[in-house]
Amino acid sequence: MPIINDIVKLETEKGISIYNLTPQLKKLLGETTIKNGQLLVFAPNTTSALVINEDEERLLADLKVHLSKLVPESAKYLHNDVHLRDVPPDEPMNAHSHLMAMMLRTSEVIPVLDGKLALGTWQSVLFLELDGPRSRTVVVQIWGE
């Protein structure tokens, strides 16, 4: 059974930003011979997340507001006491971003059926940047027959 590994690179914007990875994932899958199997997408970052949901502008704006209300950047967090931690001098105050990421997921697995991602009509694979701007990588692994 072949296993294909790839990387998607992103340059993200400030704060919370959301990126639809579905077109890149479909392109990567289309470059393989795999017709039935699975596609794994994984964000190897502690302040980002992956979700499958609708890529609709107003819904994504609601999501940003909802996350900011649940974990406000302005709240007091022990992780932000950088003077008490052994960290680089440019360490960001980003406890809120870590906490948001912990409430979400860092990976998704999508079935591949007849050479296509088995996503529902309104489903997209979305990368959530929670602490931008950053240079990010997303690992993609496709396997099957």
Each domain of the chain, given as residue ranges in start order, spans 3-144
Tell me the DSSP string of 80-116: G-GGGS---TT----HHHHHHHHHSBSEEEEEEETTE
126: which strand partners? Answer: 20, 51
**CATH number for the domain formed by residue range(s) 3-144:** 2.60.120.460
Half-sphere exposure of 61 (CA within 13 A, CB side): 3
Query: How far apart (Å, rounded) are the C-alpha atoms in residues 108 and 50?
Result: 7
Nearest to 46 by CA among 105, 6, 90: 105
- Report residue 63: phi and psi, to 5°: -60, -45
Q: What is the pLDDT along the chain (145 residues), one digit of tens a residue?
A: 899 999 999 999 999 999 999 999 999 999 999 999 999 999 999 999 999 999 999 999 999 999 999 999 999 999 999 989 999 988 899 999 999 999 999 999 999 999 999 999 999 999 999 999 999 999 999 999 9
Specify the pLDDT at position 1.
81
Q: Which amino acid is at 52?
A: I
Query: What is the structure's pLDDT at 129?
Result: 98
From 65, 97, 30, 103, select the one nearest 39 (Cα to Cα). 30
